[in-house]
Chain A
Amino acid sequence: MRRTVFPHKLLPWLLLAPQLAITLIFFYWPAAQAFRQSMLREDAFGLKTTFVGLANFRKVLSDPNYLNSMRVTVVFSVLVAFFAMAIALFLAVQAEKIVRGKGFYRTLMIWPYAVAPAIAGMLWLFMFNPSFGTLAWPLRQLGISWNPLLDSTQAMGLVVAAATWKQISYNFLFFVAGLQAIPRSLLEAAAIDGASRRHTFWTITFPLLAPTSFFLLVVNTVYALFDTFGIIHAVTGGGPGKATETLVYKVYNDGFVNLIMGDSAAQSVILMIIVIALTAFQFRFIERRVHYG
């Protein structure tokens, strides 16, 4: 890489300033606030705060509700990341085979990404609400006792489906780009070497997509952990019981609904540590297996 040398000491800082300002204001400052808050306890009326050290963390980590929320988050994130990527990859591979109307098909596939999370949640709610849902009635006709407002497995299924549906577009775009970057002649060489289409996919296409897949794995994990709040809020509100209360949802619920600021802040600090650790883990151990072309 070529090093660019600026003649001036101030200019590079000036050029970096907008980016730095955004990061400082929207990440470091709130993060620092959360960190400070996590060490404080506030009285019910918000009149005085006391420094309590790590007491909030101890309380949160020994709370069975928090551990339940942790379990829910793992299940939810793994399912969303897996299905969002697998379905998107399948659709991208199919889209490659289309000869006519490729652009039209791709545009249609990208639309769900333009839908706001809360709206997406409402759409799924309207479709699957047990009393007025468009698709709930046919489900019941099929003999399925459909009631996500009472059945926790069905509720989880519904939020996973909604969150997955929303993320497929994004993954689809990247997979399409990734597939196009694979030289046609490699697939032709494999065909001549005697590989069937399925074998070619698993031995040539899939390994060469690894950089894309790895990137999407990181992005989807973060998405499932953080950006699905709106969907859960709209579809189940964390219920029934606490069956779909993910860590992020619990942060919101404890902090903004129940107004237990200290607990909520401690939880968000823990969440931050989890995400940092997870991403570091992904880069450290999974990226090693990725072949960059």
Chain B
Amino acid sequence: MARILLNDVRKSYAGTQVIHGINMQIADGEFVVIVGPSGCGKSTLLRMVAGLEAITSGTVEIGDKVVNDLEPRQRDIAMVFQNYALYPHMSVRENMAYGLKIARMSKAEIDSRVAKAATMLELEPYLDRKPRALSGGQRQRVAMGRALVREPAALLLDEPLSNLDAKLRVQMRLQIKEMHLRTGQTTLYVTHDQVEAMTLADRLIVMNKGVAEQIATPLEVYQRPASEFVAGFIGSPAMNIFTVSAADGRVTLPGGAVLPLPVPRGGDLRLGLRPEHMRMAEPGEAAIPVVLRSVERLGADAFGYGMIEGSDVSFVLRLPGTSTLDRGDRVEAVPDPAHLHFFDPESGKRIEG
């Protein structure tokens, strides 16, 4: 068990900087998820913590020890790879015992640890099989087992569920969460899937183009996204974000409609509204006029996709599951004043209202 400290960590490849100074403290036992679109540097960051990529500048500390110049094996970490990286010529048992044998652990200790992990992951019937005789979900569990038996200071997971089908992914997600509660292992988890990120994390790092856009709890990221990127990335369907011009407690929408809103300042602003934070207008109330182009019915809810009337700005809003609205209908939506997000059009940063 240990805490992890990232101090202005940077990475460049041949002069091109890909990680632009990440600062973070991960507490002992905390579950932190690094989330972002592909190519944002999240895997690179994890691999730098693991020791598989050199750190260009800044320091990484694991358990109060700077590990920049240590080999992966000296860092007291375990890692689960996206493709599992199981040793194909070894049985499940040998795969899990590999690291323990290297650590010169006694035979009895190895056996008891492997047995314990196998019980927890329900792998006992497969201990003598080779990885190729296992299904995707079983391989994934072996990879988890191989990491857990070593009881490392920190557990690193690189998109461990992305090769599984949707149903298995949900199952494994719950299992990982449960396992974390049981072992209390400091965990760093990389994913591009916002559902995994929201459900697993104690805290999130939302990354974009090598920059940590926001480091906060999942709820905080959802309620107060620090930038336009975070606002658009977290939440499904994505937040509606468009440019409005603000003055005197009013905004002029694309298409010309005027809406009274508590604005933080005048001039051009980016306004963000989540589809779920909207209600239908009372007769005569100022609202956002939307012409629907299609309605997706999910049972409990329905989502109306359309354009703000008189503009080419697309707009999504949540409708009751029983709604009879359909393609071509015009609706008037009123945003919930408690859930308004304003961003600076230049920097993309959140403007506090």
A185 near B71 with CB under 8 A, answer: no
- Asked whether A143 is an interface residue with its Cβ less than 8 Å from the other chain, the reply is no
Q: Name A210's closest neighbour in chain B (CB-CB).
A: B89
**A105–B103 CA distance with the chains assembled, in angstroms:** 37
A191 near B71 with CB under 8 A, answer: yes
* Sampled A-B contacts (18; CB under 8 Å): A186-B85, A186-B87, A188-B52, A188-B72, A189-B79, A189-B81, A189-B146, A190-B98, A191-B72, A192-B78, A193-B73, A193-B99, A194-B103, A194-B150, A203-B98, A207-B89, A208-B88, A293-B88
Q: Name B88's closest neighbour in chain A (CB-CB).
A: A293
B102 near A193 with CB under 8 A, answer: yes
In this complex, the member of A183, A192, A195, A207 whose beta carbon has the largest number of chain B beta carbons within 10 angstroms is: A192
Interface size class of B (residues with CB under 8 A): 20 to 34
A185 near B85 with CB under 8 A, answer: yes
Q: Name B147's closest neighbour in chain A (CB-CB).
A: A192
A183 near B102 with CB under 8 A, answer: no
Q: Name B52's closest neighbour in chain A (CB-CB).
A: A188
Chain A residues lying within 8 Å of B51, measured Cβ to Cβ, are 191-192
**A210–B71 CA distance with the chains assembled, in angstroms:** 28
Chain A residues lying within 8 Å of B89, measured Cβ to Cβ, are 207-208, 210, 291
From residue 185 to 219 of chain A, which have CB atoms closer than 8 A to chain B?
A: 185-186, 188-196, 199, 203-204, 207-208, 210
Chain A residues lying within 8 Å of B72, measured Cβ to Cβ, are 188, 191-192
Partner among B77, B79, B82, B87 whose Cβ is within 8 Å of the Cβ of A204: B87
Chain B 64-102 per-residue mask, 1 if CB under 8 angstroms from chain A, else 0 = 000000011100011101110111110000000011001
Main secondary structure of the interface of A (DSSP, over half): helix
**A183–B307 CA distance with the chains assembled, in angstroms:** 48
Q: Name A290's closest neighbour in chain B (CB-CB).
A: B89
From residue 38 to 74 of chain B, which have CB atoms closer than 8 A to chain A?
A: 50-52, 71-73
Main secondary structure of the interface of B (DSSP, over half): loop
Chain B residues lying within 8 Å of A185, measured Cβ to Cβ, are 81-83, 85
Chain A residues lying within 8 Å of B77, measured Cβ to Cβ, are 192
Chain B 198-221 per-residue mask, 1 if CB under 8 angstroms from chain A, else 0 = 000000000000000000000000
B81 near A193 with CB under 8 A, answer: no
**A190–B90 CA distance with the chains assembled, in angstroms:** 13
Minimum CB–CB distance from B128 to chain A (whole Å) comes to 15
**A190–B73 CA distance with the chains assembled, in angstroms:** 9
Chain B residues lying within 8 Å of A195, measured Cβ to Cβ, are 73, 98-99, 102
A192 near B50 with CB under 8 A, answer: yes
- Contact of A193 with B98 at beta-carbon distance under 8 Å, contacts A183-B83, A186-B87, A208-B88 already known: yes
- Contact of A188 with B71 at beta-carbon distance under 8 Å, contacts A193-B146, A204-B87 already known: no
**A272–B25 CA distance with the chains assembled, in angstroms:** 71
- Contact of A192 with B83 at beta-carbon distance under 8 Å, contacts A199-B102, A208-B89, A293-B88 already known: no
Chain A residues lying within 8 Å of B73, measured Cβ to Cβ, are 191-196
User: 5 closest A-B pairs (Cβ-Cβ)?
Assistant: A193-B99, A185-B85, A189-B85, A194-B73, A291-B89
From residue 33 to 89 of chain A, which have CB atoms closer than 8 A to chain B?
A: none
**A104–B335 CA distance with the chains assembled, in angstroms:** 65
Chain A residues lying within 8 Å of B150, measured Cβ to Cβ, are 193-194
Q: Name A208's closest neighbour in chain B (CB-CB).
A: B89
Chain B residues lying within 8 Å of A192, measured Cβ to Cβ, are 50-52, 72-73, 77-79, 99
Minimum CB–CB distance from A291 to chain B (whole Å) comes to 4
Minimum CB–CB distance from A187 to chain B (whole Å) comes to 9
